[in-house]
């Protein structure tokens, strides 16, 4: 599994509305080869790009994503909260986002982001859809979602997301059938990264918004970083 070294967080990082097609296009214009975004199911089981279980923070809608039909979600304004220049930017479906990634030649990390109680079905549906596209890595904090994704699309690589050092990461990766580990940058130490690499587990870190921090991560053996500031890197570093 080959990672781009610099991956735009939530499509375009902080340079565009998160989880939008506008973000993907901005990332590509900057020379990014890799992007990451979140996929959650609508009320009618369509995966759409959104991070929160509620619509309010990033769209013009109100209420739970899980109670909103896809057709209604895609009519919402998902751009104005970021800047009026993006007014009217819609919340895209996962299918639309992966199609744009294909057009732009972008490697994609789809984070499976289930709403409460929908872990398994979200993993299955997202994996089946993603299997029809090119370079796609699936990741999730939800172990149930990863296990179901492995069943639904065995060929797609998968990464376990962690934000705590409390777990035995090697065992957790094995239990979920994951191929890699994505950890909060604050958790990365030379000893932890080395132990994972020795076990053949690639490590990527989120969210890294300083070149100096990224250099430290790469020196430890981290293979990639997720960033809100892809503009800080030159094309040949991505």
CA-to-CA distance for 172 and 176, rounded, in angstroms? 6
- The values of phi and psi at residue 138, to 5°, are -100, 140
| Mean pLDDT to the nearest integer, 186-193 | 97
Question: What digits encode the pLDDT tens for the residues 225-238?
Answer: 999 999 999 888 88
| Predicted local confidence at residue 42, as pLDDT | 98
* 1 within a domain of the structure (yes/no): no
| Mean pLDDT to the nearest integer, 20-29 | 98
For residue 212, pLDDT beyond 80: yes
Res. 36 pLDDT band, cuts 50 70 90: very high
Whether the bond between 207 and the residue before it is cis, its omega within 30 degrees of 0, is yes
| Predicted local confidence at residue 66, as pLDDT | 98
Question: What digits encode the pLDDT tens for the residues 134-182?
Answer: 889 999 999 999 999 999 999 999 999 999 998 799 999 999 999 999 9
| Predicted local confidence at residue 134, as pLDDT | 83
For residue 1, pLDDT beyond 80: no
| Mean pLDDT to the nearest integer, 199-206 | 97
* 183 within a domain of the structure (yes/no): yes
Q: Are 137 and 110 in contact (CB under 8 A)?
A: yes
Tell me what the pLDDT averaged over the chain comes to: 97
Q: Please choose, from the candidates 19, 36, 10, 42, the residue with its C-alpha nearest in 3D space to the C-alpha of residue 121.
A: 42
**pLDDT above 90: percentage of residues in the chain:** 95
* 68 within a domain of the structure (yes/no): yes
**pLDDT above 70: percentage of residues in the chain:** 100
| Predicted local confidence at residue 105, as pLDDT | 96
* 17 within a domain of the structure (yes/no): yes
Q: Which domain holds residue 165?
A: 6-237
Q: Which token pair is 155? A: 């060929």
* 50 within a domain of the structure (yes/no): yes
Cβ-in-10-Å burial (0-12, 13-18, 19+) of 73 comes to buried
* 101 within a domain of the structure (yes/no): yes
Question: What digits encode the pLDDT tens for the residues 38-53?
Answer: 999 999 999 999 999 9
Residue 184 makes CB contacts below 8 A (sequence gap 6+) with: 162, 163, 205, 206
* 141 within a domain of the structure (yes/no): yes
| Predicted local confidence at residue 237, as pLDDT | 87
Question: What digits encode the pLDDT tens for the residues 59-96?
Answer: 999 999 999 999 999 999 999 999 999 999 999 999 99
What CATH code is carried by the domain that includes residue 133? 3.20.20.190
* 92 within a domain of the structure (yes/no): yes
Res. 109 pLDDT band, cuts 50 70 90: very high
The residues carrying an active-site annotation are 9, 51
What is the domain count for the chain? 1
CA dist 233 → 27, 32, 168, 209, 225 (Å): 11, 9, 33, 10, 12
């Amino acid at each position: 599994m080959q990672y781009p070294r610099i991956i735009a967080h939530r499509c375009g990082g902080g340079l565009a509305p998160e989880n939008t097609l506008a973000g993907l296009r901005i990332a590509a214009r900057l020379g990014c080869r890799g992007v990451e975004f979140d996929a959650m199911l609508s009320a009618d089981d369509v995966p759409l790009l959104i991070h929160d279980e509620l619509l309010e923070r990033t769209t013009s809608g109100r209420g739970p994503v899980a109670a909103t039909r896809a057709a209604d979600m895609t009519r919402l304004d998902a751009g104005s909260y970021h800047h009026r220049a993006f007014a009217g930017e819609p919340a895209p479906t996962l299918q639309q986002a992966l199609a744009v990634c294909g057009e732009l030649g972008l490697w994609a990390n789809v984070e499976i982001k289930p709403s409460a109680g929908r872990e398994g079905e979200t993993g299955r549906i997202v994996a089946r859809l993603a299997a029809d596209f090119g370079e796609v890595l699936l990741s999730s904090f939800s172990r149930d979602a990863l296990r179901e994704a492995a069943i639904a699309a065995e060929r797609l690589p998968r990464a376990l997301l962690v934000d705590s050092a409390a777990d035995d990461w090697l065992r957790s990766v094995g239990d979920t059938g994951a191929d890699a580990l994505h950890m909060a940058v604050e958790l990365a130490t030379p000893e932890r990264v080395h132990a994972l690499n020795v076990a053949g587990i690639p490590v990527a870190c989120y969210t890294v918004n300083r070149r100096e921090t990224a250099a430290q991560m790469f020196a430890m053996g981290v293979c990639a970083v997720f960033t809100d500031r892809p503009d800080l890197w030159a094309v040949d570093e991505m």
